[in-house]
Amino acid sequence: MTEQTALDAAHAAMEAAPQDDAARLRFYERLADSELFLMLTEEARDENLSPEIFDVADGRFVLAFDREDRLARFAGRPAPYAALSGRVLSAMLAGQGIGLGLNLEVAPSAILIPAEAMGWLSETLSHAPDEVQAQIAEFTAPKGLPESLIAALDTKLATAVGLAQAAFLVGTLDRNGARGHMLGFVGAVEGAQGALAKAASEALTFSGIEAGAMDVGFFAADDPVTAHLARAGLKFDLPQPAEARPARAAPGSDPEKPPILK
């Protein structure tokens, strides 16, 4: 029996509770974060992709699978493909009037996602958090945040391999007496702050929580503030790479430059 994937589990939860907006949001979050194998008509060349496009009564769809063996089983023959994340695929399809056929005929998570839904996903993922500077007077233990947000942060930060050493979720009290929450990243690598802030913002969005419910901060490991975060906060350990790997130039590897449909 094929091992259940993260998309299988998220799809099953969504199907079991069709009126639950949170379950639907979690499915789309898993879709955005998953590596997908997009079926092509020919081998990829640079950033130009030629996906198989199927016309059915519900519209036009490309086909993608969350496992290589699922794609092979559907095709029944060797088939060219491109491996890219769901977020890159949504950006590629945005405005094209083309939806996504996911895991069709080969998995319990088989679903036709219409073009409008893929456009919504692309737009949602494009939102960047606002940059703010606040004078924090005190850090406290986080209170009043739903478990769904904690779980979403844990899942999201597990994908941020090597971007920081750890993160602490704390309650805050600023110098004007306003209370809030902050996710403080410790030891973020150079250039990763934007990606980490966006990951935190997406965890909020796909949890159904208001964007203003949490600020984001960045601190060096030897910053005196870091000790206060560690004492008061809920810690998230970010996974570290086992070894450095050379960067690969593959279609979809640059999220700011999605592949181009031919």
- Which position has the token pair 């004492």? 231
pLDDT digits (tens, 9 = 90+) for 108-133: 999 999 999 999 999 999 877 665 56
pLDDT digits (tens, 9 = 90+) for 147-193: 888 999 999 999 899 999 999 999 999 888 888 899 999 999 999 99
Q: Which CATH architecture has domain 136-237?
A: 2-Layer Sandwich (3.30)
- CA-nearest of 95, 40, 9, 72 to 262 is 40
Measured CA to CA, the distance from residue 51 to residue 40 in angstroms comes to 4
pLDDT digits (tens, 9 = 90+) for 130-159: 655 667 889 999 998 888 889 999 999 998
Stated pTM of the model: 0.75
Contact 81, 118 (CB under 8 A): no
Q: Which CATH architecture has domain 6-126?
A: 3-Layer(aba) Sandwich (3.40)
pLDDT digits (tens, 9 = 90+) for 225-258: 999 999 999 999 999 887 645 555 555 555 556 6
User: 3-state class of 195 per DSSP?
Assistant: helix
Domains of the chain: which residue ranges? Answer: 6-126, 136-237
- The pLDDT assigned to 7 comes to 96
> For residue 128, how many other CB atoms are within 10 A of its CB?
10
